[in-house]
Structure 1
Amino acid sequence: MFAWQETESGVLRAVTDRSEGVSTGRWSGLNLGLHVDDDEAAVRENRRRLQERVGRPVVYMDQCHGAEVAVIDGEPATAPSCDAVVTTSEDVALAVLVADCVPILLRGNGVVAAVHAGRPGMVAGVVPRTLEVMAGLGAGDVDAVVGPSVCGRCYEVPAAMRDDAAAVQPVSATVSWTGTPAIDVAAGVVAQLRDGGASVRWVPGCSRERDDLYSYRRDGTTGRFAGVVARGVR
C-alpha cells in the first residue's frame, strides 16, 4: 500500500503505491481517484482500505490546479475545492491525489498540510500560500516531504510553457531525455519550500518511470496515488 512512509513526532506521512487495491484494467491496483472513470465501488473500497490503515477518516480535495488553501477542523461534508488542505485536528488524515504532479506533506508545531502542486499550482504559488496559512496557525518551523512525481527529463513541454515556469522558478527549466524543452516541477517546488524557510526531504522516484505508481504522462487513462499526512499517530 505504501511506497514510502514514516511516523515521526506523532505525525504519519506516507505515499501510496498500486499494491493492495481492487481496481482492475487501466486502473489496476489501489486507485484512489473517483474522477478517472474507474468503477466507483472499487475506488470506495480502495479508500476504505487506506482509511483502515491510517486509522481515521481521510479528507480528499477537489483539486483545481490553483493556489486555494482550505483550513479544516474535521471531516467536511464534501471535498473542498482547493489544492492544499491544512488542519490542526488529530481526528482526520489529509490526502493529495497525483499521477505525475507533486505531492507535498507538511508538518509544523501542531499543524499539518497536504498540497497538490502541478505546473499550474507551482506557477500560481500554492506552496508559499500554504506556508503562509500554516504560519497563521502557529506552525513555526515547517518540515516538508516532497513525494515522487514526473521528473524533468520526462516532462516535455512547449518552450513558451517552460519559459512561463522559469519566470516564477528558474530552477524548474530543464530539458527532456531528447534535449527538448521540459519542466522539473518538483525542483521548482523544492525551491519555493526552501525560500519559505521550510526544511525539505525529497522522496526519490519518477512516477512515469515507476510501474508501481500511476502516471498520466505514461498511460493517459489511469488511476491516482496519494500523499497522506495525519497528526496524533502513535
Structure 2
Amino acid sequence: MTVQHDAIHGSGAHFAFTDRWGGVSAAPYEELNLGGAVGDEPEAVRANRTIAAKSLDLDPAGVVWMNQVHGNDVAEVDGPWTTMDPPAVDGLVTARRGLALAVLTADCTPVLLADPVAGVVGAAHAGRPGMIAGIVPATVAAMTSLGAEPERIVARTGPAVCGRCYEVPEQMRADVAAVEPAAWSETSWGTPAVDVTAGVHAQLEALGVRARQASPVCTLESEDHYSYRRDRTTGRLAGYVWLD
C-alpha cells in the first residue's frame, strides 16, 4: 500500500490519500477497497479500513465517514457516528483535534481542508454534481462558522479523473461551465469534457483559500487507483484529514 501522507511541518495538519493496494478485498475490488456500499464483503471493508487507519497511526474506530449522495449538505461532528449508518452528507467539519474525517472517491475529487490556527478541518466529496451544487463553498462556510479563516486554510485535492479524460456531452459541459467556467475542458482526443478538480480550485480561490495543492494522479489513467468510469464495478479510495 502506498498512502500519500502529507504532514505540514509545525502545523499539526495531516492529509492522506490511499491507492488500491495492500488490502484484503478480492476482485473486482482488489485490494484496499474502503467503500462499504459497492458490493464488497463487509468484513473485507472493515479489515481494509483498519489497515489504512493503522498505517496512518489513526484509531480505526475514530475515523468519521459519510453516506455520500452528490449533494451539498455538510455535517459538523465531534466524534464517530453512534449509529451504523452515517447521514447523507457530502461534507464534514470538526473542531476536535485528533478526529480524522474521511471521504470516499473513485473519480470524484476528494477535498481536504485544514485551518491549524483555529483547529478546524473539513472534508468534501466533490463530484461533478456536488461541485456544481456548491459542496466546497458549503464546507468552507461550515469551517468558518467554527472559527476558521479562508486565508489560513490549507487545501489538498486528491486523485481524480482529469479534464483530459472526463468526457461528457456538449450540453453537460455547457451547463457545468455556466456555473463554474474553470471546469470547461476538452479530452485529449478533442471532445467535450469537464475538469472537476479545476472547478474546485477555482471555487477555493474565489473564497480566498490560497494555500492549495492538487494531486497529479488521474484515476482513470492510473492502474494503481480505482476508477468508476473505467471499471464500473470497483472499489473506493479514501482521503483523510486531521490535526494533531
Report the secondary structure of 1:37's partner residue: coil
For residues 235 and 188 of structure 2, what CA distance do their matches in structure 1 show? Answer: 25
Report the secondary structure of 1:27's partner residue: coil
Mapped pair 1:61 → 2:73: no
Mapped pair 1:224 → 2:236: yes
Deviation of 1:114 (Å): 0.9
- Report the TM-score when normalising by structure 2: 0.92
For residues 152 and 77 of structure 1, what CA distance do their matches in structure 2 show? Answer: 39
Mapped pair 1:136 → 2:145: yes
Q: Which moved more, 1:28-37 or 1:7-16?
A: 7-16
Deviation of 1:2 (Å): 3.7
Identify the residue that residue 176 of structure 1 maps to in structure 2. 187
| 1:1-234 alignment runs, 5 A limit | 1-8=1-8, 9-54=11-56, 55-56=58-59, 57-78=62-83, 79-108=86-115, 109-140=118-149, 141-199=152-210, 200-232=212-244
- Report the TM-score when normalising by structure 1: 0.96
Give unmatched runs, 5+ long, in structure 2: none
For residues 139 and 243 of structure 2, what CA distance do their matches in structure 1 show? Answer: 17
Instruction: State the Cα deviation string for residues 46-96 of structure 1 (Å, max 9, x = none).
Output: 011122233222111000101000000111123121001000112421100
Give unmatched runs, 5+ long, in structure 1: none
For residues 145 and 78 of structure 2, what CA distance do their matches in structure 1 show? Answer: 15
| Letter paired with 1:192 | Q
**RMSD in angstroms over aligned alpha carbons?**
1.1
For residues 61 and 131 of structure 1, what CA distance do their matches in structure 2 show? Answer: 17
Q: Report the count of equivalent residues.
A: 232
Deviation of 1:179 (Å): 1.1
| Identity in percent | 50
| Letter paired with 2:238 | A
Query: Is contact 2:16-2:241 (8 Å) kept?
Result: yes
Deviation of 1:146 (Å): 1.0
For residues 3 and 187 of structure 1, what CA distance do their matches in structure 2 show? Answer: 23
